[in-house]
A = this chain, B = another copy of it.
Amino acid sequence: MATLLKDVRRLSDSEPVCVRVAGDTIDRVGTLDDIWSAGDEIVDAGGKLALPGFVNAHTHLPMVLLRGLADDVPLATWLERHVWPIERALRPEDVHWCALLALAESIRCGVVAVADMYFHNDAIARAVTESGVRALLSYGMIAPSLAAGGREELEKTERFADTWDGASDGRIRVAVSPHAVYTCGEDVWRESIALAVRRDLLVHTHLSETRGEVDDWRKKTGLTPPAYLEQIGALAAPTLAAHCTHVTAEDVDLFARRGVRVAHCPKSNAKLGSGTAPLSAFRAGGVATAVGTDGAASNDRLDVLEELRFACLLARAGAERVGALSARDALGMATHEGRLALGLPKANVEAGDPADIVLVEVEGAHTAPRHDAASTLVFASQSSDVTDVFVAGRPLLRERKLLAFDEERVQLEVARLAARLRRN
């Protein structure tokens, strides 16, 4: 049986069309008469916008647990006094509930795919499987050398890839994640890249996030973090680099040359006081740039649409130029470039595309009147306008009701966990 979405508007449509979803694929797009088959379930979309859904290209899903915890203290204090003590106490089942909470929020925001880096990854992979979204998952490895823990970290990654890469009908892919240049030794980096190449995995890392990190690295090696990675051969595998807040023009050239995809995380960089990444330089330099929310602890939302709006406004404010980033280009960052960043096939609500479809209502006072759909979405819509989410043809959200799992139970479990951790 197929599902027929009646009267949706894609960004390029002047008139509503019908979209037929058969299995995990969009098989036809056209008028009702042209594409309907007997037995199709008809969903009346009533003129809602239809998008391929948003991609969150860098996050740490379970960190929703820390949302709004001590958000006015400096980064080092925040990590040492608040974040790490709690994270050390987390058990796999805790991480599973927190990941589900994050996925409930993500689906409600129209997110169809996430790139997550954390620990207790089996628990996260189970949550992703239940949720129905697509994910690039990785274990954030931290080790000064292969001898000092690096071997074990790499083994964890490889075991995780053995179990989960390609699992859940191919919705899960595994990445190799040396956490950052300053947390992994050179031999750990080299072995990570070798593993990624051998297993055909993406590399997902944090890069040049803060000014301090870059300054320290230059003092230590004479090189910026990206130049250092290039020197040790660590950009040989396709790489998704989060943040890239403080980079040079040479770094940007290097990204373009090596096909490094950037996960631009403007809200997290702002909230943590890290600064602003040079988005316009990435785009002008031909670097594929997606958007990421980072963990909710430093955002505090997993709302890609809001991230996009912030990215767009910040680019215009910084450049003092309205053309710095158009609404349509911004949408591309959260969709096409996001999918590219995660290694996903393209999707654009066209026949033959994976049936990743998000419906957005544009009936509120805040989206009236409507002159241009891309502009309405990027500048005026809010995530609560998302009514339906399909991933690989499976409905995860229908008329704002989460179908994938029991959201109330998830909230209850996370509230219990937060209370338990506060008592400790």
Listed in ascending order, the chain A residues whose CB lies under 8 Å from chain B are 64-65, 67-75, 78, 101, 104-105, 108-109, 211, 266-267, 269-276, 296, 299-303, 306, 310, 313-314, 316-317, 319-324, 326-327, 364-372, 375-376, 379-380, 382-384, 407, 410-411, 414-415, 417-418
Contact = CB atoms under 8 A, between A and B. Distances in A.
Contacts of A72: 322-323, 326-327
B322 A101 contact: no
B319 A273 contact: yes
Interface class of chain A by DSSP: helix
B372 A68 contact: yes
21 contacts: A64-B369, A67-B369, A69-B371, A71-B322, A71-B327, A71-B375, A72-B322, A74-B323, A104-B365, A105-B365, A272-B316, A272-B322, A273-B321, A296-B380, A301-B379, A302-B366, A365-B411, A368-B414, A368-B415, A369-B414, A371-B418
A388 B383 CA distance: 20
A372 B418 CA distance: 12
B105 A317 contact: no
A276 to B, nearest CB: 5
Given A68-B376, A384-B382, A317 B369 contact: no
A146 to B, nearest CB: 35
A87 to B, nearest CB: 15
Contacts of A78: 322
Given A64-B369, A68-B380, A270-B314, 16 more contacts: A67-B379, A68-B379, A69-B371, A69-B372, A72-B326, A78-B322, A270-B317, A273-B324, A275-B320, A296-B380, A299-B379, A310-B313, A365-B411, A369-B415, A382-B382, A382-B383
A360 to B, nearest CB: 13
Contacts of A299: 379
Contacts of A320: 211, 273-275
Contacts of A273: 316-317, 319-324
A155 to B, nearest CB: 34
A381 to B, nearest CB: 9
B414 A366 contact: no
Contacts of A368: 64, 67, 101, 411, 414-415
Contacts of A296: 380
A309 to B, nearest CB: 8
A46 to B, nearest CB: 15
A75 B300 CA distance: 33
Contacts of A267: 313
A346 B278 CA distance: 42
Nearest to A75: B322
Contacts of A414: 368-369
A317 B316 contact: no
Interface-centre pick from A266, A275, A303, A320 (highest chain B CB count, 10 A): A320
Nearest to A275: B320
Nearest to A328: B72
A127 to B, nearest CB: 13
